[in-house]
Amino acid sequence: MPEENVSVPKHVAIIMDGNGRWAKKRHLPRVMGHHEGVRAVERTVRAARDAGIAHLSLYAFSTENWKRSPSEVGGLMGLFRYYVSSKIDALKAEGARIRFAGNLAALPEDIRQLLRKAEGETASCTAIDMVVCLNYGGRQEILEAINAFLEDRSRNTLSDSERPYLTEELLRRYFYLSDLPDPDLIIRTSGELRMSNFWLWQGAYSELYFCDTFWPDFGEEELEKALRSYAERERRYGGA
């Protein structure tokens, strides 16, 4: 992985794209691409931890993904059940704390129970913070945060200084994971060049890295390329 003097981002976010095209290229069902994508997750979490990345967020299922065929959505839900229930011990062994971001209330109850269990059992792990974005949409997160603020204001639960105006700092408190730092680097695989409703607020000043590799083929080597590209950039946040 990168040399010690290479600047390593604190939070790397990945739009894991290309599972279906990976499978199609091999004349396999799309669900097989998702299964191989899970292997890529395991490789990448390990590589990110070894690189010294503190937070790794993965875009696993968007609010728009419900539009896919019922068979594919069902296959993905089954994969989430399998991964979360069978990989907790492996994540703990890697020192990975797992958390979830998104509108989790819309997921099946048995999956929500598994998510809560995984979060509880890995809460003390400190090697890397792994955030899985499930039923996540950046626009939805912002709207939910604003509506939650308005509800608190109508209930008079805010202080006098907080009540009149919604500030960036106050809005952040209503996000799914308010303590998660903004992503320094957002990676998208498979050659697509768009954000697809991912970390829209938090990613305002993130560095972007796009690669042609389908997600099932992603791993340590591709992550290293992204980190080297990041290290060569100068982040000015709008300044001179």
pLDDT at 3: 45
Q: CATH classification of 11-137+181-229 is 3.40.1180.10, yes or no?
A: yes
Summarize the confidence of residues 119-144 as an average pLDDT.
97
Q: Could you tell me the pLDDT band of residue 2, with boundaries at 50, 70 and 90?
A: very low
Q: Where would I find the beta strands (DSSP E) of the chain? A: 11-15, 55-62, 96-101, 128-136, 185-188, 207-210
State yes or no: is 17 an active-site residue: yes
How crowded is the C-beta side of 72, counted as CA atoms within 13 Å?
Answer: 14
pLDDT over 70 for what percent of the chain?
A: 97
Summarize the confidence of residues 105-125 as an average pLDDT.
96
Q: List the catalytic residue out of 50, 65, 103, 152.
A: 65
Q: Could you tell me the pLDDT band of residue 237, with boundaries at 50, 70 and 90?
A: confident
Cα angle 32-33-39, degrees, rounded to a multiple of 5: 95
pLDDT at 104: 96
pLDDT at 157: 87
State yes or no: is 152 an active-site residue: no
Query: How far is Cα 230 from Cα 130, in angstroms, rounded to an integer?
Result: 20
Summarize the confidence of residues 29-35 as an average pLDDT.
93
Q: With a cut of 60, say whether residue 211 has pLDDT above it.
A: yes
Q: Could you tell me the pLDDT band of residue 98, with boundaries at 50, 70 and 90?
A: very high
CA-wise closest residue to 221 among 99, 47, 35, 33: 47
Q: Is the dihedral of CA 104, 64, 130, 167 positive or negative?
A: negative
How crowded is the C-beta side of 6, counted as CA atoms within 13 Å?
Answer: 17
Predicted TM-score (pTM) of this structure = 0.93
Q: Could you tell me the pLDDT band of residue 1, with boundaries at 50, 70 and 90?
A: very low
